[in-house]
Amino acid sequence: MNGPLAGFEERRLAELKEQVAARAAAERERRPRRRIGVRVPRALTPRAPKRRRWVVPSLLAAAAATAALVVVTGTDSPAARQDVTLRTTPVSAEAVLRQAALVVQERRPIAEPRPEQWIYRKLLVQQATGGGTVQEYWTRYDGRVQVMRQGQGPFEKHTYVPDPADDDLTPQEFAAKLAALPTDPHRLLAQVKADRFWAAKPEGAAEEPADDRAFRVLSVYLDQEVPLPPELHAAIFRALAEIPNVRVDVGVRDAAGRPGVGIAYEPGPAHQPGYYDKDGRLLSRSYLVLDPTTYEYLGRHVEQLQDEVINGEIAFRKGTASFRSAVLARGVFDRPGELPR
């Protein structure tokens, strides 16, 4: 049940990429020389550079403010265009992640919802075309029912029957899994690398490298609707700081236009050949975006670094934000349809 949110972007992007390819083929049949006007990103797998020296909080805040000033304006509207050039400032990944750990570990734990209560999450999703779609979810904590609506459309109710063969987790089950995780960052890193629950891959595909899986799983932990226990939240940031090739940039904007700290993962073409062109250049950079002060998860941002061609057509243009998302609101309510005041 956590699945409709955690991993939603990845599933949607895979579907959109297929749609782009199909549309390109159909377009060539009708107008052989006309280019398609839809751009969608590659699958989300955040990435980044070698660690540098410690950056104190005041310097990080100054860097974030500077980066925010040079980002092209016009991204604050939910329906803002995506063809904006992202200008960011790279900073020490280790320094920022360890500072994030210090901040989040001081928070008070959030009380666990009752099984019959509803977890609310409001998302803004911007596809490559630039339009923004607002999606709202009310999910019962015990996972029995989910209610959702898109924009101002009707409410849709989905009742779930447990499937023993389905490894998707309800919010309550996900919270129990999180509560059982070690809060020592080295033990946490070792556990997520070895956790077969997250090892699913297409039949016949190569085994996922341990660092790749660790970054992917820790990203899922940061991007889900169940509140993280403060000690575990801190351990996740400290574990991320131990993964090679993690990159941090400030000034990365989510779909709501909020500037934040972007975390990405870039292990190189030997690990992820599908994300690089024939010359070894990274095609797109996928960020987790965090609030620069609280380090809470804000959303996703995929920046296109090269023109990317699908079926002979430019599907993603260099310098565009090919996908963005933003968490606009969240809460716990007694009934579906209730909203934050």
Is 295 a domain residue? yes
Is residue 204 classed exposed, middle or buried when 0-12, 13-18 and 19+ CB atoms within 10 A define those classes? exposed
| pLDDT < 50 regions, the chain | 3-8, 11-12, 19-84
Is 340 a domain residue? no
Token digits for 158?
A: 């989905």
* Per-residue model confidence (pLDDT) at position 130: 65
CA atoms within 13 A on the CB side of 139: 26
Is 282 a domain residue? yes
Q: CA 255 from chain center: how many Å?
A: 11
| Cβ atoms 135, 255 nearer than 8 A | no
Q: Which domain holds residue 231?
A: 8-333
Total number of domains constituting the chain: 1
CA 326/CA 27 separation, integer angstroms: 32
Is 341 a domain residue? no
pLDDT tens digits, one per residue of 227-284: 999 999 999 999 999 999 999 999 999 999 999 999 999 887 666 667 787 888 888 8
* Per-residue model confidence (pLDDT) at position 163: 67
Q: How many CB atoms lie within 10 A of CB 110?
A: 12
Is 243 a domain residue? yes
Is residue 332 classed exposed, middle or buried when 0-12, 13-18 and 19+ CB atoms within 10 A define those classes? middle
Is residue 109 classed exposed, middle or buried when 0-12, 13-18 and 19+ CB atoms within 10 A define those classes? exposed
* Per-residue model confidence (pLDDT) at position 167: 63
**70-77, Cβ contacts within 8 angstroms, sequence gap of 24 or more:** 70/251, 71/251, 71/253, 71/259, 75/253, 75/257, 75/321, 76/256, 76/257, 77/132, 77/257
| Cβ atoms 174, 198 nearer than 8 A | no
CA 178/CA 220 separation, integer angstroms: 11
Is 290 a domain residue? yes
* Per-residue model confidence (pLDDT) at position 205: 59
Is 339 a domain residue? no
Token digits for 300?
A: 């996703």
Nearest to 324 by CA among 292, 285, 293, 294: 285
* Per-residue model confidence (pLDDT) at position 143: 92
* Per-residue model confidence (pLDDT) at position 135: 96
* Per-residue model confidence (pLDDT) at position 13: 52
pLDDT tens digits, one per residue of 157-167: 999 876 656 66
Is 3 a domain residue? no
